[in-house]
Amino acid sequence: MDASQPPATLSNGELARIFHEIGDMLEVRGELVFKTVAYHKAADAIAHSPVEVARAYLDGKPPRIPGVGDAIGKKIEELARTGRLAFYDKLREEVPPSLVALLEIPGVGPRTVKQLHEEIGVETLDDLRRAAEAGLLRGLKGMSEKTEGQVLAGIAALETRQDRMRLGQAEAIVEQLVAELGDVPGLRSIQPAGSFRRRCETIGDLDLLAETDRPNELVERFTTLGSVESVIAKGPHKAAVRLLRGPQIDLMIMPPGESGTYLIHFTGSKEHNVRLRGMARDRGWSLSEKGYLRLDDDAAAQPPAAAEPPAPVGPPAPVGPPGEAAIGPAAELRTFPTEKEAYAFLGLPFIEPELREDRGEIEAGLAGTLPSLVTRADLRGDCHSHSDWSDGVHAIETMAEAARRRGYSYLVLSDHSVGLAIARGLSAERVEAQRAIVAALNRRFAAEEADGTAPAETSPEGFRLLHGCELEVRADATLDYPDELLARYDLVVASVHVARRQSREQLTARTLAAIRNPHVDVIAHPAGRYIGSRDDLDLDWDALFSEAARTGTALEINGSDERLDLSDVRARRAAEFGCVFTIDSDAHRTEELDNLRWGVAMARRAWLTPERIMNTRSRAELLEWVAGKPERVGATAGRAGPGA
């Protein structure tokens, strides 16, 4: 750099990239986690800052940026004034940037990367592959031949994986972008479409649809955001960018008043849209995001007559059966302000976004049999949560108060049973101590509701914390607690965590044993999966569904976006057997109570109605259902009942 020339002002995106790289290199160097996290948080805050950060520092008016203290602030100032950062340059000498990529290999952490670099000179993925293939890793402390196999498998998985986001990650990006674009002049609406709007399990690229009468200004703002790493395409009707350390985002512009077919086109799956286009063609129309275009006699798209004014915005004049509209030359292109009207043009009712997969929704729409899907508002409580008594983060009272202020009627506290030592499962003595805390809290809640001092958000039927557990199903198909102890719980969820590599017959037998127990009410996350990192249990699903339906044992739809278990496909299959379900958060901290929204999304994709979901019932109805489990399985011993 010519010292006589002032450095070019760094953009927010360039600053963010540098601080993300610092965080990565500190991680490889083995620094404390809070230090690495601090740099990544600062990078995110800079990328989304509405202020040009470097310019503000040059002007002597450093902005207040969340997560940026004096130490990082001085580094920003150095970068702003000189275009360089001595700390960053030194790190790059110590930690080759290529080492950071090794952290993406499953099971390879910062200490391992540092060891590989210092002891055998590994700097790249290819270096590590060659070292593992040559048997060099087994000579290092803590590594073995098995380690080499795991590393090679991890590299292969890394090279073939598709970058997919969880629903929560996609939501955070969408919300941030909508907030940053929300004040652009002329913007009337902006919303996500694509697989995120359908609430698919994982999301690749993201689609945003914007209704505006000043598209150029919106596209300009979108392509110059600080979080943008590169601009893929830029035009008056569409733009595409790749975010810094993020996905590709496509922005489509919708003319005001014509969003109906745009939302349908960019939300539905390929198969759903093909079906709609076929229906339109059968009626003499070509369907695209821009609307319905009249076909001529040779089935070629007939554009609107140039001499005529454009078709009026809004629904068509009243028509008879689909395809019988009297449409003249001035209305060759039909557009609609809403999806409902655009679907109605084909004789269809509005189809919920989660159903647009061509799994029978079009046939059901034509027959008038689309289900009234469960909504978040239908849920009265949550049947699966944890506290700091096992592997949760927050105290029992904190979790209960958070649920109470969400308007729930109940939250089931379901800390792990004793056999899951890694999660600090509760011994019988700790169970009794916890039971006393739950009872004391419920007495306080009842007193506050009686004297009018309960929070305003409290449910009209009041709030109670129900005492439950997440019961481990052992490798030999026995349960962690005896029936006498289980009978005293308000509600019991059971799950399989250990011995996951057993045969299908063994794993199925274990889950069936829990289903048949008179005191087990819910099977939690039945497949035991973590999306993208832990495979589903190998189970005889139809056998499980049949027995769960017979005994009235609920199958959980776990709302954690890492699990989403049961999947939508399995939940729909289970419904065919007559199964009932719960939609639960599996919350380990208060903010995770909001996981219910993802569970609801999976239930909607499975076509489930409120009647199928046990926690749409009142607290009294839920406990009545629990009390009926022994009779349903033909047991002679009943439940002790709430608060026993």
| Predicted pLDDT of residue 34 | 82
Q: How confident is the model at residue 636 (pLDDT cuts 50, 70, 90)?
A: low
* pLDDT tens-digit readout, 526-579: 999 999 878 899 999 999 999 999 999 999 999 999 999 999 999 999 999 999
* Helix (H), strand (E) counts: the chain: 24, 17
Q: Which two tokens stand for residue 16?
A: 């963010």
| Closest CA relative to residue 407, chosen from 236, 577, 619 | 619
**Mean pLDDT to the nearest integer, 201-217:** 96
298-305, long-range: CB < 8 A, 24+ apart: 302/332, 303/332, 303/333, 304/329, 304/330, 304/332, 304/333, 305/329, 305/330, 305/332
| % of the chain at pLDDT higher than 70 | 91
pLDDT tens digit sequence for 5-17:
556 778 888 888 8
- When mean pLDDT is compared across 124-138, 158-172, 337-351, 487-501, the lowest value belongs to 158-172
Phi and psi torsions of 248, nearest 5°: -80, 140
Which amino acid belongs to residue 521?
D
User: SS3 for 245?
Assistant: coil
Q: What is the pLDDT of residue 323?
A: 35
Global pTM reads 0.79
- Spatial neighbors of 44 by CB under 8 A, at least 6 apart, are 16, 67
CB atoms within 10 A of CB 141: 6
Which pLDDT score, from 0 to 100, does residue 324 have?
33
Per-residue model confidence (pLDDT) at position 124: 87
DSSP 330: G
pLDDT greater than 50 at residue 628: yes
Residue 504 pLDDT greater than 80, yes or no: yes
More confident of the two residues 509 and 6:
509
User: Which of 6-10, 503-507, 587-591 comes out lowest in average pLDDT?
Assistant: 6-10
Which run of H or E residues covers position 12? helix 12-29
Backbone angles phi, psi at 284, to 5 degrees: 90, 25
Q: pLDDT per residue over 286-326, tens digit each? A: 999 999 999 975 455 554 443 333 333 333 333 333 333 33
Confidence of residue 453 (pLDDT cuts 50, 70, 90): very high
pLDDT average, residue stretch 610-620: 97
Could you give all domains of the chain from N- to C-terminal order, each with its CATH number? 12-95 (1.10.150.110), 98-160 (1.10.150.20), 165-256 (3.30.460.10), 274-367 (3.30.210.10), 376-633 (3.20.20.140)
Tokens of 193: 């479409």
Whether the Cβ atoms of residue 539 and residue 508 lie closer than 8 Å to each other? yes
Mean predicted lDDT score pLDDT of the chain: 89
Within 10 Å of residue 439's Cβ, how many Cβ atoms? 12
